[in-house]
Structure 1
């Protein structure tokens, strides 16, 4: 008799075959798991090496180039583009760089930081195919269509500390293969590291700009202290000179009727009168320098003021064969200042620019807003400023135009006007030649 529960000899081969198949399936499963595990280790090592390389980059321009090249190299895509938030006040992420995508497709494309697209990407914090993105948020805002126009196939948010630092988009792979789950997982992990490097670069640039402004402010304070001391001395001297000068002018007025152009002494009278007038002009400048005239303070459009000043001086610039290049947007925030005094500052800068380009050249006048300030730049293509004079040009009585009758008070007065408005004025040389004067004024606070 056969005992129940035991296989017969006929059944054993079948059982062995089933067992063999089960073992092979398990081996295949373990092999695939091992392969996936090794891939993840390799991916993490790759991400570590990429992060180590990029963490040493603190200049935003170089960093963005490296991010694009890294993404293209790792995924084998035909192109990539990146959008960043250039200014928190604008509330937009603007595409600023691309590789492998024609400029006319991505330049000027932006997304609202508070819009559905950016908010969804911030919440998701993971790479997503454009097709799926369109299904998730719809097309009411047209932002998905903007990305499609750039040929985006994969969209990767770059966020850190619940803040969307940027958006990286990739076009399709050169091979024509679709993006796999492993690709999306790899890019999502990599994106976190890229966002950290971008945040580090942003903080570094903020610190660098803060240090520059701090240094400018310290230099401004030193200059203002010198101005105060020299201004008081100048006013005292001006008052002392003014009294005898008035007497000389009175006697000249008495002599004038007794002289005719034919008189041999008439040329001497003319020279004395011109020199006395020149001294009187210097005395007035000294007094104005110490006690500037009170001007009405009002909300001012810096672009409009600079444009009006250029128009006022345009004929002289044109006659000197100087081409004026203007970039004066009228959408800038307003500042609190005296319009008349600002025109005086810009007129002085324009006159100086004309003098340093006797053979003609180009004059650029630019305005822009940045971090709560409005800036105006007046740049020429002259010979530039001697390095040893850059720190001296705003000092009273310092001039390189003594033989042309320069008093050295023009830029000192400009410094006083800008400082009184809470701003900064500085000069720097340009490459390959020329100099630029930058006027920086605080934006009028909204009430």
Structure 2
């Protein structure tokens, strides 16, 4: 059986070899015939292109001569008679026009000539574009785009007219009938043969075709359904436009094969493609005869090959199948092992990342790491149940912009993007984040990965820094104003005191002077506050017992408390350390904050000062149960001059925060309207002396 198979295979190989030799001989003979006819066709095509180029150039030269005459001869009648003479001598023109600089035909021959300015818009735009190009380039332009009149394809030869001082007077426009021109130019070559010629311009528009007159000025790039009556497609025509010169064989449906030669006719600003079609009957008959012999050889060869293939297939089928199965098993095991290793490494990286990382589809979360759960406060069952949507974590004010940027990323081709937005955790805390998104395929579905970076503190620091710069500028400006006002204010105060001394104690005017003096003192107090806020005084630090500072402060503020019928309660942790501070400035801070608490509290309420310490800082809390601060004012309370009271200067909190920050500390305010306000002052560990 084995020997039999070998004999059959060898016999088949011999037959195949003989068929292959016959096949090569057939194609060699066919190629020789085709090459011979191609050479002949190329000569014919180039001759046609040369004749057409010479015909058009002769008309271009005539138009150029008329343009030169129109620029130099003053006698218009003589010029226009020359137009008529050229029209009679140089055949092929439909019209010769004198077009002025506005595009209006003021003369021409014959008398029934058209006017370019009255052409339909579709034709006028193309003509005036060529007219303007001729003027700018000072060259003759061949315009062959969209010029069709009464089923005639026309070509405009536009020669600009410039006087000796280079003044533009217009142009001489010669209008040729393409059909008549091509037939006249190619008559010596084509007449009496079965060949025919067609012409395309540089843009692919059909300018002349004896068998497709209804498609003139149609573009092979934009064909209509009726064009497929004799064309399978227009790939061939597009290819010859790209190549510009050559010869090819083409079969058109059931029509005889055509040998098509093509060559470019160049002009100053454009070019035409001349295509010559010739029937291919003789060589086709020879090729058909050779094909019959070749077909027999091919059929015999195919039978032999099939028999050999069946035999070989039976021999190797079992062995090949077994080998493939074994290889597939090995590959699958390797892939599974590699996949598990990659998944393990990926999970380790994700779980150990300090940044929240999550995988999700457009509908639900697939995977989140521990940092994500900690950051947002949600746990596994809440996240993976499908109820929690990622868009639901985005702050309401940022949802629209976030969705817009995500849609761009999803629809776009980029694999990575970064989006800055704001989100809310489970407790409703406002969080500013930057999320780096990427996408990949998992199990045939598109999966998105997000790496979230918390930039809340960075953004807050940036805003605080910007606010400090702004407040610093306000302070400096206010200080300058205060310096300018203080001296005139002192003079006014002295003058009022002098006037007041001239008035008796019982004089009614005495009260007016006293009122003026109080208002001047109030203005002076405001100016002192401005100068205090603007000055960058260094601190005079010394070791102070917090109990001593608060005891002195209680005696200072006690009269004000009694006036408003309020009580001050001081709560101190035992064993408080001494602190190194500027006690005068820190006393000013306590005064400003407690004064605000007094003014906000109703009679009978209590104000609490609580002092505690931990490993990091000393904390002073001032609590009141007053009216609180409106939410819309909370962001403005540290601005200089911001005050909700009629007689307030709006400098107390601004100065207090500045003093605390000079001590490297921090001042925070928490408030709830109609409940009360808590002011916390933190002095860092560096400021504490045990």
TM (norm. structure 2) is 0.32
Give 1 or 2 for the bigger CA radius of gyration. 2
If each structure's strand is expressed as a fraction of its own residues, which one has the higher value?
Answer: 2
TM (norm. structure 1) is 0.48
